[in-house]
């Protein structure tokens, strides 16, 4: 090998850097264990879980929320969330929301910047060590630069999809921002992205589950709480009605996989009501705020919802 700082000759043999286990995380099947089981001697942790609302979008039509919906029929608004899961030992932020400028260009208005919502819950975005990116759509990845200390957890399949042949078609690339995808690729070269190939346990009591449909590599998050196992569906189910009425959302890669994903979400949660959709305003009504001052900003998902 040439000395540091020199340019190798054309016939030099370059040795690739050693593989490190932090580069690609192995797939696991964490849901197969019985309740209370442990991994490597570690007791399953119990997490507090919060949904933090940072934006909303009104005046939707049914055709914008459901495949085959009536374009003349009004439908549910959309809320935009990031999520926080924390135990006594660990903190995970799930998704980072849209960048305010990108949101404005797309007609979405920021109500409460995600980093401010986190700060109100005692979390400094700059110090967070683990950020889970459920998928690379603009409203889920736009602010990852606010988390400079974090490893970014992403599915192999999502990066391949967001940089592959389908992105040449407007139908598939509509919800991606090319600059944000390119920025994530740069983070790969910095060693910050932790790739996962399917289902994986990040810590005792918190696991990732690839659920295709909305995109090719979307992942939901399963979390152990005091009320049991809950599932943060992200955009595997935008609205309760998408899942409960089997009416898929129209931004979709594979509608069949999306419908199958609804069944998978029910398998992962301890009860159907413990599945939390990614954009439903009902989340803010069914769950209570952590305290009165956070009403309209955040709710606790580890308390039973009001149905």
Q: With bands split at pLDDT 50, 70 and 90, how would you rate the model's confidence at 307?
A: confident
Q: With bands split at pLDDT 50, 70 and 90, how would you rate the model's confidence at 41?
A: low
Handedness of CA 185, 190, 192, 196 (dihedral sign): positive
Cβ pair 93, 118 in contact under 8 A: yes
Lowest mean pLDDT among 10-14, 264-268, 302-306: 10-14
Q: In terms of DSSP bridges, do strands 48-57 and 109-110 run parallel, antiparallel, or are they unpaired?
A: antiparallel
Cα distance between residue 248 and residue 38, in whole Å: 36
pLDDT for 96 beyond 80:
yes
Cβ pair 251, 279 in contact under 8 A: no
Residue 9 DSSP SS3: coil
pLDDT number for residue 100: 94
User: Higher confidence at residue 17 or residue 210?
Assistant: 210
Cα distance between residue 297 and residue 80, in whole Å: 11
Conformation bin of residue 286: beta by default, left when phi > 0, alpha when psi is -120 to 50 = alpha
Cα distance between residue 295 and residue 120, in whole Å: 12
pLDDT tens-digit profile of 167-193?
Answer: 999 999 999 999 999 999 999 999 999
Residue 131 DSSP SS3: strand
pLDDT number for residue 2: 43
Lowest mean pLDDT among 38-42, 56-60, 87-91, 105-109: 38-42
pLDDT number for residue 147: 98
Domain-embedded: residue 109:
yes
Q: In the beta sheet, which residues pair with residue 231?
A: 222, 275
CATH number, domain containing residue 218: 3.60.15.10
Domain-embedded: residue 20:
no
Containing domain of residue 70, as a range?
46-300
Rounded mean pLDDT, 38-58: 87
pLDDT number for residue 39: 52
Domain-embedded: residue 154:
yes
Domain-embedded: residue 306:
no
Domain-embedded: residue 95:
yes
Cβ pair 152, 96 in contact under 8 A: no
pLDDT tens-digit profile of 117-161?
Answer: 999 999 999 999 999 999 999 999 999 999 999 999 999 999 999
Phi, psi of 85 (to 5 degrees): -125, 125
The total domain count for the chain is 1
pLDDT number for residue 33: 44
pTM higher than 0.75, yes or no? yes
Domain-embedded: residue 102:
yes
Q: With bands split at pLDDT 50, 70 and 90, how would you rate the model's confidence at 73?
A: very high
Percentage of the chain lying above the pLDDT 70 cut: 86
Domain-embedded: residue 40:
no
Domain-embedded: residue 25:
no
pLDDT for 29 beyond 80:
no
Q: In terms of DSSP bridges, do strands 200-203 and 206-210 run parallel, antiparallel, or are they unpaired?
A: antiparallel
- Torsion angle, CA of 297/174/179/77, rounded to 10 degrees? -10
CB neighbours of residue 260 within 10 Å: 14
pLDDT tens-digit profile of 2-25?
Answer: 444 444 443 444 444 443 444 444
Cβ pair 133, 139 in contact under 8 A: no
């Amino acid at each position: 090998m040439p000395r540091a700082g020199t340019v190798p000759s054309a016939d030099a043999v370059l040795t690739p850097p050693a593989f490190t286990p932090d580069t690609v995380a192995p797939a696991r099947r964490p849901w197969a264990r019985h309740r209370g089981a442990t991994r490597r001697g570690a007791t399953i942790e119990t997490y507090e879980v919060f949904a933090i609302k940072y934006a909303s979008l009104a005046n939707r039509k049914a055709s914008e929320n459901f495949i085959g919906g009536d374009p003349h029929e009004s439908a549910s608004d959309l809320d935009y969330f990031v999520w926080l899961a924390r135990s006594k030992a660990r903190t995970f932020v799930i998704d980072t929301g849209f960048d305010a400028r990108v949101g404005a260009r797309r007609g979405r208005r920021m109500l409460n910047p995600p980093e401010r919502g986190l700060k109100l819950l005692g979390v400094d975005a700059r110090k967070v060590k683990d950020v889970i990116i459920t998928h690379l759509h603009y409203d889920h990845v736009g602010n990852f630069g606010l988390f400079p200390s974090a490893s970014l957890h992403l599915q192999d399949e999502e990066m391949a999809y967001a940089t592959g042949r389908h992105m040449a078609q407007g139908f598939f690339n509509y919800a991606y921002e090319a600059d944000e995808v390119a920025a994530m690729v740069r983070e790969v070269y910095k060693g910050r992205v932790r790739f996962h190939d399917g289902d994986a346990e990040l810590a005792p009591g918190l696991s990732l589950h690839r659920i295709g449909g909305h995109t090719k590599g979307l992942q939901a998050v399963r979390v152990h709480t005091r009320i049991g196992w809950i599932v943060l569906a992200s955009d595997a189910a935008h609205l309760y009605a998408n899942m409960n009425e089997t009416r898929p959302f129209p931004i979709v890669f594979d509608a069949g996989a999306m419908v199958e994903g609804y069944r998978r979400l029910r398998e992962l949660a301890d009860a159907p009501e413990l599945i939390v959709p990614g954009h439903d305003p009902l989340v803010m009504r069914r769950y209570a705020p952590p305290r009165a001052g956070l009403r309209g900003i955040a709710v606790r998902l580890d308390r039973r919802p009001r149905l």
